[in-house]
Each structure stands twice: as C-alpha cells, then as structure tokens.
Structure 1
Amino acid sequence: MKIFLKYGIAFILLSSTQSLLAQTTITLKGKVLGRDSKTIFIVPSTTSLRTEDKPTISIVDHKFEYTFTAKEVEAYQLVFEDEYEKGAWRPVIVFPDQNVIELTLNDMENHDKNLIKGGAINEAYYAFMQLSENRYKAINEVLNKEREKLYDVKDYYSQAFENVLVEVRKAKDGVEAQPFYQKMDELRKTGVDLSPSGQQLKARFDSLAHAKYKWKYAYFNQNINIGNYYLLFRDVQYNAKENRYLATLADETYQKYAIKFPKHPYTKIVGDAMAGIIKIFPGNQFVDFTAPN
C-alpha cells in the first residue's frame, strides 16, 4: 500500500486530532478496482462487524461517496459485503481525522496496493504498517517457504492432526465439521498438533514473533498516537491472552496511552481487558522481559 510521508508528522497528528472536535463530518470518496462489489460495510473498531445493523456504502460504477459523523477519532473498518458473505475478508482501516479522505481499493489479492489519502493519522498508521512489513519481509518469506516444503511432504503436522484434517475435508458443512475443529483445538492446546520438524520450525516463528513484538512496542512508546493505540487495542483484544510476553509489553505501553488519551474509548476497553488478562497468569504481576538493544 502506498504511503504519504511528510515532515513534522508529530505536530500534524496533534493538531489533526484536536481539530476533529470541531469537524466531525467525514466524507469518504473512493474508487474500486479489479472487483464488481456493490456494497461496503463500515463499522468502528469498537463495534463488532457481526452486528446486524451495519451501515453500508453503495458502490456505483466502481465509485462511492459516503458522509458520516464520527464521534471519536478511532479506526473504522471497511469490509466488502461479498467478502463478508463468503466468510473471509480483509478490512480496510480508516481513521476519520480529516473532512475528506480519498480511497482507491483493490480486490483481495491486491489488498496491499490500496491507497488511503487524507489525514495525518492515516498517514502515520500506514507508514508504520509498511515499515513493519519491510523490516521482517525477508525472514518471513524464508520461514514461509520452509513451512510450504513441510506441507508438501506432509511433515508439518503430526499424524493425529493430519487425520483430523482428513475428516474436516470430508464434512459437508461447518456444522458437520465443528467436532473436528474442536479436536484440532485440543491438539493445539496440548502441543501435539505438529511433527518434530513442525515443532522446530514453529520455534523459529515464535522467536521471530518475540522480536517483532519487542521492536513494535518500542516504536509505540516512542510514537504515541491513535493509530498505534488501535494496534495495541487489537493485540490486547485478540493476542495477549495467550502470550505473556506480549501482555507484558502491552500493559506497560498502555499506561502511557491511557495518560495521553484518558477519555478515548480504547482506554476503558483496553484497561478492562488487561485487568482480566493479568489474572490469567500466575502471580498476577508481570515481569519486564525486555532487554536493552
């Protein structure tokens, strides 16, 4: 995805966030390439995409224009209806921090070529996403290729897990496959879902994830803004419960964001979630596992 970089981004972010209080009417103007979708759902990140009364954006002749009132400067998810109905989608993230935001949206395969123009928070968010992707792209490709090789020779999963996969493929629908999905979860939780080769490769993926989180949260601490707060919010909502190291980093970083944005909805949501996550881990006190660079 293309990124628009400018100097003085910290000042622009601050002034943009403050000025939104007086200009909450946002217009999204977009064009859609490589797909025949007719409708886009739009919901704030603090609202479930599965809610029944999702606002919709109509696409006419591969173009759309949608005006709405943003109550908060938070991430909004744009999801193509046809992707949603198929059960697999890649949301487009937009922050309403400028009156007019221009979007060029592609098909799912070319999602990374989407263009979002308008607003300093959008600029900073996508700049970070590109920075993160480029930083770890090479090693990710190496590990993914190794995993594909193990897939090809059926040496990534354990035999027990492979047997369950066979049953999943035989299932006529999701209801019939549900018991097998549960069995797969049990095998993962007990650590017997992978072959010895798969376990070795997973250890390398885990090591990479550890390095990513360390770098990512150092960046968040140095660049406090709503875009990064959204990513912290996402980590706490979906990943931190099963990763004590991530939970530790998120908890420490959250303290700074809560001070910076005391009334933002992310602050209460993340605070409540962290209170529950802390209870999961023995001792209820996190240890700072980070090491100096």
Structure 2
Amino acid sequence: MKKIIKSILLFAIMLTAFAGTAQEVRTLLTGELINLPYQTLALMKATENFDHGERVIINLVDGKFEHKLVADVLEVYVLFFEEQLARGSLQTFYFVPDSERIYFSLYPSEDFEKTEIRGSEATNEINAMYNKYREKFQPLFEPIFEIQGRLIESGEFFSEQYKKYQDAYQKAMEEENYEKAVYYTSRRVQLMESGDYVSEKGRVIVDEIDSVSALQMQWELDYLAESLSLYSYLRLIQLTQGIDHHKSLTIENLNNLAEKFYNKYPDHPYTRLSKSMLEALKRIQVGNKFIDFSLPDLKGNMHQLSEVIEGKYAVIDLWASWCGPCIMGSRELIPVYEEFKDKGFTIFGVAREFRNTDEMVRRIEMEGFSWLNLVELDDRNNIWLQYGVAGGGRKLLVDDKGIILAIDPQPQVLREILMERLSEKRE
C-alpha cells in the first residue's frame, strides 16, 4: 500500500516555483548513486518520449558522474536509468539547469524522500511543495487505499462479471489462446469504461477516490497558476497529454491555465508545444472532422487519408510496433474488418516508428494486418501531435463524410455502429 501512496505522491517531484528562462545554458551536473545498481544514466529534455526521445548517456565511475549540460534555452530536463526503462519500471529525476553547478544524490524509489538535488533554486521549492501536498492529501488517500486493498484481497472489490472475464482471460492465456484472451480483455475494458467493473462496495471506494482526486486536481491547478514556473509549465503539458486519465480535468481548465503561461513565456518552446496540443484536443472530438494528411507506405508510395477513405466508414488506426496495447487493439479490429470490408468500411493504419521500419514490417506480417498501413517515421509530420496522442496510439471511427463518430471504440461497439449505419446506408 505504501508503494501506491508513493506513486500518487511522486507527481509532486514534478513541480517547482522556479520562474524565468535564459539563453546559453551551461551547467555542470555532478552526483552519485546510492544503493542503485545501474550502469547507464540517461539525460534528456523532459518533453521527449522516454522510449525514443533523443538522450545523452552519462558515464558512471564507481557510482559517480559528471556531465556538462549546454543548451540554447532553459527548460526542464530529466535523468533516468536505461536498465529500468527496458524493464518497464522507470524512476525519474527532474531538474532545471538554472545555475552553474547542480549536485545529485540519487536513491532508489523506496527511499525517494532521501534524494537530493542541490545547487538549483528549484530544489527548495520542490521540497516545500511536496511536503504541502503530502500533508494535505496523504491522510485523505491512505485510508481509502487501505480499504480498497482489503476488498481486493477478500474478492469483494470487483463485480462478479469482471471477475468472470478475468478468470476466463487467465485461462485463455494459460492455454495460449490469444484470440480468446483479446476477447476477454475487450470485455473487461468495456466494463471499466461503463463503471460496471466494481461491486457495490467497490463503487463506494471508487467514488471516494474520485472525490479526493478532484480536490487534488483543483489544488494542483491552483498551484500551477500561482507559480507559473517552467516546472509548472511542464506539468501543464503533461496534464494536457494525460487528460483522458483525469476525470475532473477539462479542456477549458487547461486552456485557461495555458493562457497565463503563454503571457509569461511567449517565445518558449513549451508555448508552441502547448498550443499545438490544446488545438489538437479541441479538434479531435466526436462530431468534428478528421485532420487530413499524406504519408508514405512501406514502398515509399504516398497516400492521402481523405482520398483513401472517401465515401467510406473508416477506422483511422494510429499504432506503433513498440506499443503492446496498440497492437492488441489493432488485432481486435481484424474480425470487424473482415466482416465489413466489402460493405463500405475500411481501416487506414499509420504506424509511428523510429529510425527504421523493420519491426513494423515484421509485426504486420505476424499479425495479419491486411489493410493499408502507412509510416510516420521519426515524427517527421507530427501526426501524433496533430491528433493529440501522447504515447503509442489512438483509433478513430469516422463516417463517410469524415465526421468522427467515436474515439477508441471497443470492437463490439464498433461493430454495432457499423451494422446500424451501413444498413441505413444500403437502404
């Protein structure tokens, strides 16, 4: 349970009241690792993608390091360990290079309170903010999560239907029946989206968590608006990327807050990024039209989205060969595609790849994705940014006029929509 509380509190490390920008940043980073058995320390801009973003590897000698950071614009950076990234469990250390020298004492996640970043004006603000957050919200979250844990252990938290699908999924995986596993995963996701995944007792806990989370979100938004620091600006960008994961967060909240940052940092790279992201969120909504683009296929032939799907119902499938959930979602589309491909429906695939397309080719052949798949290599066309997608992918159902009908619909929902709409079209 302590790990759950720590994961909730970790976002506080992402905040600071440091304000202002500077040109020609030159900062010496020195530090040591305490009880951290890693050999590959990576440094990159905090807005980069962890999996594929440009990073610098810092040499470690007997657990100590020294690196001179030189940049044109002052912004937030992050240190992390490549070994952890490969395992899918990442501990991060964010900082602003606002002085000539910054010293790091880095501890494991279970001792993250001991981690120190000295020499940066941001450090004291980070600690002060973290302490305020912990004092305010840990007493509210901790007892709720303790009750939740007991209900999960006793089998009283999840609904009977959810547990049935969970058991069926585990059995399918044991039998290596991946088609059934995908089916039961889809059913569980549907229950999650409808809220029917919990029992009556579980619903009480979920409602309490949502209530405290809403208070937490408002507290954080107020803090960001007051500090208007670069770290706070980064946090705004992260909230924009993860808006789907915060029930109480709205585009209006983000837009109002963003205007304050735009006024303070009119020429900063974060401003350009934030404006693009918010514009995408506003445009990629049910009832709006898709954003058109042209990309090459694996043979280099160019295809324009609007021309390929003209007059058809279509799923615009933004995926990636390195994104497991994306692949699973695309795999679930195969039966729907086979059923409706000759009835006015198609799938338009776009894979977000980095450096090369080798894994994309292998994955398409392995999975049997028989529809057209184009490639967005190294984010050259900013398709993911235009569509407001932070990580792996997204799936959008559009009608024959290009209007978005659903975002990330489950296969059964997609099938029901197509059955209704395409039958009406034939009539």
TM-score by length of 1: 0.81
**Residue of structure 2 equivalent to 1:264:** 268
TM-superposed deviation, 1:203:
0.8
Q: What letter corresponds to residue 30 of structure 1 in structure 2?
A: G
Question: 1:248–1:54: structure 2 CA closer, same or farther, 3 Å change rule?
Answer: same
> Does residue 54 of structure 1 match 2:29?
no
In structure 1, how many angstroms separate the alpha carbons of the residues matched to 2:43 and 2:186? 32
CA separation of 1:169/1:96 partners in 2, compared to 1, >3 Å: closer, same or farther?
A: farther
Provide the secondary structure at the position in 2 that maps to 1:42.
strand
Following superposition, which runs of at least 4 residues in structure 1 exceed 3 angstroms of deviation? 163-172, 174-178, 180-184, 240-247, 278-284
Q: How far, CA to CA, are the matches of 2:59 and 2:162 in structure 1?
A: 43
Q: Which has the higher contact order (CA 8 A, sep 6+)?
A: 1
Offset, 1:108 = 2.5
Aligned partner of 1:152 in structure 2 is 153
For 1:121-200, list aligned pairs within 5 A: 121-166=122-167, 171=173, 179=182, 181-200=185-204
1:1-293 matches, cutoff 5 A: 13-14=18-19, 17-18=20-21, 20-22=22-24, 24-51=25-52, 54-166=55-167, 171=173, 179=182, 181-239=185-243, 243=247, 245-279=249-283
Equivalenced residue count is 270
Q: List alignment gaps of at least 5 residues for structure 2.
A: 1-5, 7-15, 289-427
- Structure 1: gaps of 5 or more residues: 2-8, 285-293
- Counterpart-to-counterpart distance in 1, 2:218 and 2:152: 29
- AA at the equivalent of 2:201: S
Structure whose residues are more often helix by fraction: 1
Larger Rg: 2
Match of 1:54, as an amino acid? R
CA distance in 2, matches of 1:175, 1:28: 50
Q: 1:175 to 1:26 in 2, by over 3 A?
A: farther
Distance 1:213 1:165, change over 3 A: same
Identity %: 19
CA distance in 2, matches of 1:283, 1:221: 31
Give the structure-2-normalised TM-score.
0.57
Letter in 2 for 1:21: Q
One-letter amino acid matched to 1:210: A
The structural deviation recorded for 1:240 is 5.2
Q: CA RMSD in A?
A: 2.9
Residue range with higher mean Cα deviation, 154-163 or 76-85: 154-163
The aligned residue for residue 6 of structure 1 is: none
